[in-house]
Each structure stands twice: as C-alpha cells, then as structure tokens.
C-alpha cells in the first residue's frame, strides 16, 4: 500500500458498521475495480464484502468463498466476484482460475488473502486492511487506501 494514496482510517464497533463501510466503498467503485483485503481470520472481510454487495445492489446471501475460491454475485449495479486466495500457492495459480477473465467482465473483484497474490494485482488496486482495535474487543480498525470516500 502506498502511503501517498488517499486513505481513510475508520473504527468499526460492530459487524453492521463494517458492512456499512463496505456499502460506502461500493458507491464509488467502477467496472474493473479490485478491492484487496489484508487481515487475519475473523477480522470482518466477509462482513465488509456483504456491505460491498449491498452497496452494489445485490440483495441475496453473501458467504465466504473459502471452499469454492470465488463466489459470483450478479443483479446489482455491477457484478461482484468475491475471491478467497488462502488456498492458492502463488500468484501463478490465480491465472489458472481465470483471473484475467474476471477482470475483463467489468465487475468488482474483492480479494480475501490478497497477500498470496499481491504481485498479480493491478496498480490501481484499492487496499482494505482490517485489524483488531486495541481499545475494545470486537472493534476493528479498517484502513482503506487508494480511493477517496464521500
């Protein structure tokens, strides 16, 4: 993450606040956007993605793609492709699952465990880091870099 890119640091006090921040980000995304998550297990990546989906106009159920590698959500303003890269060995494996095809489909690619494939992500990737907040258990510090939010 470049320190020169625009960024927002937000403290989320609940899962619903994390989802709301995701919806807020969705409002400024355009076709082909890549949103790369950084953060360990249980940090709220899937909750943030539920907010992205809602913000894009998708009203169905959103779940983690842990066992499928990618879940597709269509029917909103833009399609959302939710990736879980945890099981991929390296960035080369990303191309084996059709990464370039997803980028070309004009949707939003939300990438969990982006550290696994960072070198394959485009230069204009939006980075979202989710971390435990030291002030209170259950709170999260969410840093978004690469885009200005209203």
Mean pLDDT of 30-54: 91
The DSSP secondary structure of 106-139, one letter per residue, reads TSEEEEETGGGGGGGS-TTPEEEEEEE-TTSTT-
- What integer pLDDT is reported at residue 129 of this predicted model? 93
Mean pLDDT of 58-72: 84
Q: Is the pTM of this model over 0.85?
A: yes
Contact criterion met (CB below 8 Å) for 110 and 82: yes
Mind listing the pLDDT tens digit for each residue in 72-109? 999 889 999 998 887 776 677 777 878 888 888 999 99
Per the rule left: phi > 0, alpha: psi between -120 and 50, beta: everything else, 111 is: beta
| CATH 3.40.50.300 for the 11-141 domain, yes or no | yes
pLDDT averaged over every residue in the chain:
86
**Hey, is 27 helix, strand or coil?**
coil
What percent of the chain stands above pLDDT 70?
Answer: 95
Cα(2)–Cα(5) distance, integer angstroms = 6
């Amino acid at each position: 993450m470049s320190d020169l890119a625009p960024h927002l640091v937000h403290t989320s006090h609940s899962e619903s606040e994390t989802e709301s921040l995701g919806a807020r980000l969705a409002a400024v995304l355009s076709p082909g956007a890549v949103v790369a998550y950084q953060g360990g297990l249980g940090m709220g990546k899937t909750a943030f993605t539920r907010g992205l989906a809602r913000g894009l106009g998708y009203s169905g159920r959103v779940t983690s793609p842990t066992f499928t590698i990618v879940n597709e959500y269509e029917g909103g303003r833009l399609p959302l492709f939710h990736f879980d890269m945890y099981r991929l060995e390296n960035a080369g494996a990303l191309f084996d699952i059709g990464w370039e095809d997803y980028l070309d489909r004009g949707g939003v690619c939300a990438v969990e465990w982006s550290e696994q494939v960072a070198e394959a992500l485009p230069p204009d990737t939006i980075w979202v880091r989710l971390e435990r907040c030291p002030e209170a258990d259950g709170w999260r510090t969410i840093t978004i870099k690469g885009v200005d939010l209203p």
